[in-house]
Chains A and B, each alone.
Chain A
């Protein structure tokens, strides 16, 4: 060392170059690289935010309507005869009574011109099959109300409810001139004093022309692919439509692929079937008083074609009338939170799944936390460091990475087949999820225990605490915030878990709200999965609503974890 001259190493190395062009280039390259990295970071963050916002907005937009429901508010009188002619008024008699005639009559009183069984059935189908449930319960509670008129909320069917939720479907415009129908029921012809339907007729012809164009293209494509029959068929249809479109003043027959057009006059409604510029023939959906000239009339259009909706023109006519007379009420959908699943979308609720989730989480929590925390304490503080504990450690870390469906298979094989526990029960679900969450909790707890500085334990040992006393009096309390954070995150994971629960039968259709951990039940994510599979649009809405609820739960749990971490985190 001392025999090297002091200037030696410095002379061998070139001086630090900060002024040359090469150095400036290096600096610029470094700045560029930093800017690029930051820009990429911002792009990644914005993309994530965008996707998340899109997801949230979509789910909330689809799911929020589920929290309101539409009902008819009618005065219903339930006569004693309808319950039991012999005068019994006990709960069984009231619950067993057939209230269909009562509701039917109430509805007929609210809607004019309902004649015949078929029209009656159309009308009463607007109500949910469970529409009278609330009324029945009210009568059971207060039997003295039997025979008196009661203002009652009758729940509408899912289709009717969905119609009111999609408000944009009906447009109405004042008609020109004077409209004169030639009858008051059945098929009537409405004649106008001037060509008030011309614009609508032109729109229909334009639609035909557009369809003809599409069919022509299709015919050409089929011809190119050698499908001669199909090409000919399409060409024929196209020609027919084009001919219709070309005949400017010819009458048009409206089918269910076109928006429904109606004439509203004198309180009634006529659905147009054949349309001319100043004349229309159609069916009376709602009656009007007399066949005279009406100066004040309107053209009503149900813009969505009948073939694309689940509700007929007649039903829309009834519903619009009920709404116009103030009989329809939108209210908070309490049933969604108070009832279990149902085949009828308007009756289906989330309570069964919520209670099932609560039971399952309870079982998981009660199993996981003691076992997980004690296992972590043992491994961290008491277990000798040898091959066996190493093996256990590696396996715990591996278990955290095992796909959840494998735990479901394990649960199926052991808890159901070997121990013969009940299927679909929160007990088994909780056991399986406990297995799933256990590694997470053990790992988080070990990390929390490890992060407590050894000086605390040494201090306790130094005043004569045993190893166990030192751990339970000092190390564990200091590790609790970390353990709780890990537990909450593990439980949030379990809350969203679906796959293992499918295998142990929690995917069944269960109407009753579970009362105990051995009752058949389902959980929130599985309920979402079940509903998402059903074809009714109302169930799609329920799916989104249930997703909102689950996101709220997850959000609350994760927020709690963050708050706990912030509040109790200790810097040593």
Chain B
């Protein structure tokens, strides 16, 4: 994606060294009659963590779900506008949604491991996409994913036990392992720590720090501290609009918009 296409760039700063992985322009989302997301435009840099913050119902999760077209599963949801991943319009009818979702993995708010063994949870994606042709290769893929999700040491002796038997934090890391096992380029995280205790949250945050070496991460969070801790860039959503976007430091120390200021200082939300 060349910069020439980007016409309205609200706060393009020098802090963004890497190129934009996801580019969104004029994105509007309607749920039936409700206009949930209005005119969103953003560039998400590669191999960095971008945090979406904002009060409940502001549209940040809705926008996140547009990036891997998860909103397609909601019949009343209508998406218009332009979202590109690596310069390719993902709402192009020729795009295969399933392939897109393999490239853009997702971790959900509530840990949702399959009611199967830990091994099967991780192996499902690679098997589906033919990433391993032999059992040994598959074992290696599973081990690698679990290691990268820093779960291997805790579960390597009980891979055949159900994933639903793990603790909440472990389950969420299992879900992350499951997402990275198919080797996506982007990982979308929809409030991944909201159901976890502070210790499990800290581990996930550490993990996110490690993962940006290989992945582009977009995280939706309610916790401003979390956004400040893990992200390089932050976008603030309010009432279905993207209010302000920029380097995390700048958003938290010197926001341009009054609403951002009010939100991060705790006036509302």
* A residues whose Cβ falls under 8 Å from a Cβ of B: 384-385, 453, 455-467, 469, 473-474, 477-478, 570
A-B pairs with beta carbons under 8 Å apart, 18 shown: A385-B75, A455-B108, A455-B112, A456-B114, A458-B70, A458-B106, A459-B108, A459-B113, A459-B175, A459-B178, A462-B101, A463-B101, A463-B179, A464-B99, A464-B102, A464-B182, A465-B98, A474-B114
> Is A478 touching B124 in the complex (CB atoms < 8 A)?
no
C-alpha gap A474/B113 in the complex (Å)? 11
Q: Provided the pairs A384-B75, A456-B115, A459-B175 are in contact, do residues A464 and B129 lie with their beta carbons within 8 angstroms?
A: yes
Which residues of B83-109 have CB atoms within 8 Å of chain A's CB atoms? 98-99, 101-103, 105-108
Knowing that A464-B125, A467-B73, A474-B114 touch, tell me 8 more A-B residue pairs with CB under 8 angstroms. Answer: A459-B113, A459-B178, A462-B68, A462-B70, A462-B107, A463-B181, A464-B99, A464-B105
A462 to B68, CA, bound (A): 8
B112 touches A463 (CB 8 A): no
A458 touches B112 (CB 8 A): yes
**Which of chain B's residues have a CB closer than 8 A to the CB of A461?**
70, 73, 101
B15: chain A residues at CB < 8 Å are none
Q: Nearest Cβ distance between residue A508 and chain B, in whole angstroms?
A: 50
* B110 interface residue (CB < 8 Å to A): yes
The answer to whether the Cβ of B128 comes within 8 Å of any Cβ in the partner chain is yes
Give the number of residue pairs across the A-B interface with Cβ within 8 Å: 66
- Enumerate chain B residues within 8 angstroms of A477, measured Cβ to Cβ: 115
Kindly name the residue among B105, B114, B125 whose own CB sees the greatest number of chain A CB atoms within 10 A: B114
CA of A458 to CA of B102, assembled, Å:
13
Question: Contacts of A384 on B, CB cut-off 8 Å?
Answer: 75
**Are A463 and B70 in contact (CB-based, < 8 A)?**
no
B115 touches A463 (CB 8 A): no
Q: Count of chain B residues with Cβ under 8 Å from any Cβ of A?
A: 27
Task: Chain B residues near A456: list those with CB within 8 A.
Answer: 112, 114-115
* Nearest Cβ on chain B to A135's Cβ, whole angstroms: 61
Q: A455 — which chain B residues lie within 8 A by C-beta?
A: 108, 110, 112
A465, B98: Cα distance in complex, Å: 6
User: Does B108 lie within 8 Å of A463, measured CB to CB?
Assistant: no
- Tell me, in angstroms, the Cα distance from A570 to B112 when the chains sit together: 14
Return B173 CB to nearest CB of chain A, in Å.
Answer: 14
Q: How far is the CB of B106 from chain A (nearest CB, A)?
A: 4
B48-107 interface with A by 8 A CB criterion: 68, 70, 73, 75, 98-99, 101-103, 105-107
A462:B105 contact, CB within 8 angstroms = yes
User: Do B128 and A462 touch (CB < 8 A)?
Assistant: no
- How distant is the Cα of A458 from the Cα of B113 in the complex, in angstroms? 11
Residues of A within 8 A of B68 (CB): 462
- C-alpha gap A473/B114 in the complex (Å): 10
B106 in contact with A462 (CB, 8 Å): yes
Task: Provide the bound-state CA to CA distance between A460 and B115, in Å.
Answer: 12
CB-defined contacts of A453 to chain B, threshold 8 Å: 112
Chain A hits for B178, CB < 8 A: 459, 463
A466 to B128 Cα, complex, angstroms: 10
| A-chain residues with CB within 8 Å of residue B98 when the two chains form the complex | 464-466
Task: Evaluate contact between B115 and A478: CB separation under 8 angstroms.
Answer: yes
